[in-house]
Structure 1
Amino acid sequence: MTTPIWYNLALLLIKPLYQWRIKKRATHLEQYQAECLERFGPFQPALNTASIWFHAVSVGETNAAQPLIEHYLKLGHAVLVTNTTKTGQARSKALFAQAEYAQLFQAVYLPADQKQIVRAFFAKYQPKILLLVETELWPNLIDQANQFAVPSLLINARLSEKSAQAYAKVPSLTQPMLQGLSQILAQDQATQQRFNDLGANLNNNKVVGSIKYDIQAPAGLAEQVVKLLLDWQLAERKVMTIASTHAPEEQQLLTLLKAKLEQNPDYVCIVVPRHPERFDTIFNLCQSLQLETQRRSLGQRIEAHTQVYLADSMGELWLWYALSQVCFVGGSLNEPGGGHNILEPLVLNVATVIGPNYFNFQSIVDEFIEAKAILLGQDAEQVVQQLLACIENPDLAEQLNTDAQHVLMRNRGSLQQHIDVIDKYLADCDQ
């Protein structure tokens, strides 16, 4: 495939804007300079060549790829992970940049999708396979993978109707890009059909389910939960978590919960905003609502008088879910929304509530709704009613969790199907 001239010209024109955005979100000059080097080169030295390269845009995709990455690290394969967002890279390093994998694992930002930059990245890191997670498609990235004879697979692939419509508007870019992929491993038939309609190679597009169903709680989580339940005296508290939230979800939900939190000292709400740059904003919101709030970033704990606990940390979402009896998974009340992964709390037997805007996880959520295994609120008021219903009626929460476990069990197995396909490509690479 060859990317269209107009696409490369457009990237050249927006490069200054891209650099400005990096500078704007950087907390200091050294951070800005370091990120620019990773995005535009010259790049960090390669810790390993002939690595398995995973690209996961942000936290959700990194979490989805976690069991696959762990599988290959444990087998002794070198792994390179690239992310698009700061939170995604932080999550990658939190998961794998540890002594056990220190010589095998490297995490850097994805380079900007300009042809010469991507070419230089391939030349420096020399991966043997490229695994793109979910919907992360970049024309020059796929083009250069072909130029360097590196197989490129779209794994755990999902594509919403809205995203498919956007891709359909630029067929001169989309069709060659999809045909440049070695294989698409789709989560469901709807995704498979959408890729087919956009011009993907029919022979290399198969449904293998979602890896996310195969996720497991992190090692050591149970011990950490038991310790906090004891140290923070949470055993008798009624704990709810509103997680991966976006504006204005926190304001809507906390405003509606305020009276209940004030009337019932046993109630506590853990708030886990999706983006770290909003942590201070959410703390100020809690202050304006006159809710007694403690912060994780200050090393504070949930006290007897705590009404809101602001979990302004990275990589601890599993912990906050595990301390809860019920949760709301955010990004589903805001507009346009799209939702986030509901499987993490469900794996932990935490009753789960979401809003109506969940198109990023359409097929997964629909199956749980059909099984009456999660609750769907049409607006903030209904979400709060459902959260409180689960807190106040343990039988309701238990029934939701029982039904959710049935759905989880019948969908597991995608991880092994992914491994089987990837191993075939790795075997060809090693010949």
Structure 2
Amino acid sequence: MAQAKSAQQTPFWYNLLLACLKPLYRWKIKQRAESDVLFQQECIERFGPFQPPKNLHAMWFHVVSVGETNAAQPLIEHYLKLGHPVLVTNTTKTGQARAKSLFLKAPYLDLFQAVYLPVDQKPLLKQFFALYQPKILALVETEIWPNLIAAAQQHQIACILLNARLSEKSAKGYAKVRRLTQPMLQQLTWMLAQDSATLARYVDLGLDQTKSQVVGNIKFDITAPTDFIEQAEQLKQDWQLADRQIITLASTHAPEEEILLKQLQQHLNSNPNLLCIVVPRHPERFDEVYKVCQNLNLDTQRRSLGQRIEANTQVFLADSMGEMWLWYAMSQACFVGGSLNEPGGGHNILEPMVLNVPTVIGPRYFNFQSIVDEFVIARGILVGENAEQVTAQLLGCLDDSKQRQQLIEQAQVVLQRNQGSLQQHIQLLDHYLKAPDAS
């Protein structure tokens, strides 16, 4: 392992705040844990003594949740195929489930490991770095932690912010704690930004512009895993779905399921071929969403119970984790959630588009503003102002084959125009992988 060197110290108030919040964080983990065994496992990964490493000197990717995991997917897959060991840390349960569903399988079982990111405390990170001895640390999109970045600097490990994005709202938040933000950004080895606006915001906060560049969004280079496509085709046969019209409501938040299902209710009751797959964003809401379906008297089956879609099934609650590709692959139209609720913000629209699924969203998509705007201009996506309009657009995609094909074709134009960021990411990572002194 590289000889440790000095790094800028994080403010006393920040470390005191973490210490005070730690018991509350542990309590929150216990509240959402599905069992005592899972609670203990998560605590071990977040607070130590950590899971033993499968491999030392792995490439370490930190991806917060599902969106960041999806963004990093082509990068992680590239290096696993080359035989590089990869360690992935997540902040959320859904993110870890997605990472494991993508990579914790043959032929990567011996090379891939996914654990939760330790709490950003100096003693825990010192223990984690000593145990895993990573070769490089790649932070994906927006997840930057002061003590984590300082620890990488101290251990002479290159710390690179990949596919970086920063909204105006988030930048204002970081600006309020500039004494914490500026030293943290100055310790980054390099940053690859999605767009010039993101780069400008980071530079304004204290990033050295000479250690950054704009390379576009790596999400445009994503490809659908073939095993999920094959599984979708098999389920269509097994569940006799050839004649069904399938809409997926994906990554939904409250009250999106209820308001959309209310709009779809009369159509589901009058059209026995219509089927709605609902995929809530957060697993702790699975039971809540099932009650919504029951209250609307919709015939509902649940993935978690091993139930299948029957001839009379109106709603299929996909209350599983890490299977979003599967549900998109079974769809003829989809709604991407987090865009009708308050405050909203939206989620990744590129996954269904890669699979040629016409995509509808609500009006609150500021987390993906630049991406969505490009598809709007190209008429490759539909944006509804409310649940009634979104529902009409989804049904229109099913009924109007010409409109559906136009949406697919225009979306593909935008996707192909924006590809290429992946190779630039690989070139930078390769440079630091080969460098004798990574930082």
**Is TM more than 0.5 here?**
yes
Say if 2:427 is the partner of 1:425: no
Partners in 2 of 1:356 and 1:37 — Cα distance?
40
Deviation for aligned residue 1:66 = 1.0
Aligned residue for 1:269, secondary structure, equals strand
Residue 154 of structure 2 corresponds to 147
Paired AA for residue 391 in structure 1: L
Q: Deviations over 1:259-279 (max 9, x none)?
A: 111111111111011111111
Q: What aligned pairs does 1:274-423 form with structure 2 within 5 A after superposition?
A: 274-423=281-430
Q: What aligned pairs does 1:203-242 form with structure 2 within 5 A after superposition?
A: 203-242=210-249
Aligned mate of 1:257, from 260, 264, 269:
264
Aligned mate of 1:66, from 49, 73, 89:
73
Percent identical among aligned pairs is 65
Q: Deviations over 1:99-150 (max 9, x none)?
A: 3222211111100001111111111111111000110010000011000001
Partners in 1 of 2:98 and 2:423 — Cα distance?
23
Of 325-334 and 315-324, more deviation after overlay is shown by 315-324
Aligned residue for 2:179, secondary structure, equals helix
Partners in 2 of 1:374 and 1:252 — Cα distance?
21
Q: Structure 1: which 5+ runs fail to align?
A: none
Distance 1:394 1:118, change over 3 A: same
Paired AA for residue 263 in structure 2: L
Aligned residue for 1:318, secondary structure, equals helix
Tell whether the 8 Å contact from 1:238 to 1:267 is kept in structure 2 after alignment. Answer: yes
Distance 1:114 1:217, change over 3 A: same
Aligned mate of 1:97, from 96, 99, 104:
104
Tell whether the 8 Å contact from 1:217 to 1:347 is kept in structure 2 after alignment. Answer: yes
Paired AA for residue 25 in structure 1: R
Partners in 2 of 1:32 and 1:335 — Cα distance?
30
Partners in 2 of 1:336 and 1:169 — Cα distance?
21
Residue 33 of structure 1 corresponds to 40
Partners in 2 of 1:85 and 1:22 — Cα distance?
10
Tell whether the 8 Å contact from 2:215 to 2:421 is kept in structure 1 after alignment. Answer: yes
Residue 133 of structure 2 corresponds to 126
Residue 266 of structure 1 corresponds to 273
Tell whether the 8 Å contact from 2:192 to 2:214 is kept in structure 1 after alignment. Answer: yes
Partners in 2 of 1:94 and 1:253 — Cα distance?
29
Aligned residue for 1:417, secondary structure, equals helix
Tell whether the 8 Å contact from 1:160 to 1:362 is kept in structure 2 after alignment. Answer: no
Deviation for aligned residue 1:89 = 1.3
Partners in 2 of 1:72 and 1:421 — Cα distance?
13
Partners in 1 of 2:52 and 2:244 — Cα distance?
50
Of 19-28 and 130-139, more deviation after overlay is shown by 19-28
Partners in 2 of 1:70 and 1:429 — Cα distance?
24
Partners in 1 of 2:359 and 2:383 — Cα distance?
9
Distance 1:360 1:201, change over 3 A: same
Of 33-42 and 286-295, more deviation after overlay is shown by 33-42
Tell whether the 8 Å contact from 2:89 to 2:117 is kept in structure 1 after alignment. Answer: yes
Partners in 1 of 2:110 and 2:10 — Cα distance?
35
Q: Deviations over 1:352-372 (max 9, x none)?
A: 000111121111111111111
Distance 1:221 1:19, change over 3 A: closer
Residue 135 of structure 1 corresponds to 142
Of 388-397 and 27-36, more deviation after overlay is shown by 27-36
Partners in 2 of 1:84 and 1:327 — Cα distance?
27
Paired AA for residue 305 in structure 1: N
Tell whether the 8 Å contact from 2:46 to 2:117 is kept in structure 1 after alignment. Answer: yes
Deviation for aligned residue 1:223 = 2.7
Q: What aligned pairs does 1:240-251 form with structure 2 within 5 A after superposition?
A: 240-251=247-258
Residue 164 of structure 1 corresponds to 171
Tell whether the 8 Å contact from 1:47 to 1:106 is kept in structure 2 after alignment. Answer: yes
Q: What aligned pairs does 1:168-179 form with structure 2 within 5 A after superposition?
A: 168-179=175-186
Aligned mate of 2:84, from 77, 94, 115:
77
Aligned residue for 2:226, secondary structure, equals coil
Deviation for aligned residue 1:429 = 3.7
Partners in 1 of 2:299 and 2:362 — Cα distance?
26
Tell whether the 8 Å contact from 1:128 to 1:429 is kept in structure 2 after alignment. Answer: no
Q: Structure 2: which 5+ runs fail to align?
A: 1-7
Aligned residue for 2:359, secondary structure, equals strand
Deviation for aligned residue 1:430 = 7.6
Of 297-306 and 322-331, more deviation after overlay is shown by 297-306
Paired AA for residue 23 in structure 1: K
Tell whether the 8 Å contact from 2:98 to 2:323 is kept in structure 1 after alignment. Answer: no
Q: What aligned pairs does 1:184-203 form with structure 2 within 5 A after superposition?
A: 184-203=191-210
